[in-house]
Amino acid sequence: MPEPTTTADNPKTYSTEAIRRMVQERREKMTARESAPPVVTAVVCGRSSAVTLTFSSGCAVSIPLSEFHELAGATPAELRDVTVIGSGGYIEWPRLDMTFEIGPLLLDLLGLKPVSARILASRAGSARSEAKAAASRTNGHKGGRPRKPRVVQAEK
């Protein structure tokens, strides 16, 4: 019989097999999330002066209306008329002719735009393809990268 395990924050006793099952379930959830990222399933813009996005994962995010500078001057009725479009990737105020993409909006609000740009650039730069290899060989036959000019110090 495997020895039961407890944790400090949860005094309940778990067997080693139960812990293995929980870890496996968590891995499967993470894999499912990576293959199908959460999308917006509902959006509400009420009197609370915030736009609340509800995601397919069950998470909800409230964004102050003051972050949507383009919506300044809109009436409460116009603001309430908001919908999710594009399979959950966009929110739209049709009466105001305003559409916002969710991903860049959240990255910008959280200050992660520069970080995500670096990650995407590093992935693009590390991509290997036959076309890149052929271009590199061609450049190598041309002599490669030009050398930096040598700076000669004048004697005093």
**pLDDT (tens digit per residue) in 76-131:** 999 999 999 988 899 999 999 999 999 888 888 888 878 777 777 777 777 778 88
Percent of the chain with pLDDT over 90: 33
Residue 134 — very low, low, confident or very high, per pLDDT cuts 50/70/90? confident
Name the pTM for this structure. 0.57
User: 62 forms bridges with which residues in the sheet?
Assistant: 52
Report how far apart the first and last C-alpha atoms of the chain are (Å, whole number): 86
| pLDDT, average across residues 26-50 | 83
Query: Which residue type does 19 have?
Result: I
The residue assigned the tokens 């609000």 is 109
- CATH number (3.60.15.10, 3.40.50.10310, 3.30.2020.40, 1.10.3470.10) of 40-109 reads 3.30.2020.40
Question: Rounded CA gap, 104 and 96, in Å?
Answer: 20
The two structure tokens encoding residue 125? 């730069």
Minimum mean pLDDT among 43-52, 55-64, 97-106: which range?
A: 43-52
Q: Worst-scoring range by mean pLDDT, 12-26, 77-91, 141-155?
A: 141-155
**Residue 4 pLDDT > 60, yes or no?**
no
- How large is the angle between the packed helices 102-109 and 113-125, nearest 10 degrees? 120
What is the pLDDT at residue 6? 55
Q: Residue 2 pLDDT > 70, yes or no?
A: no
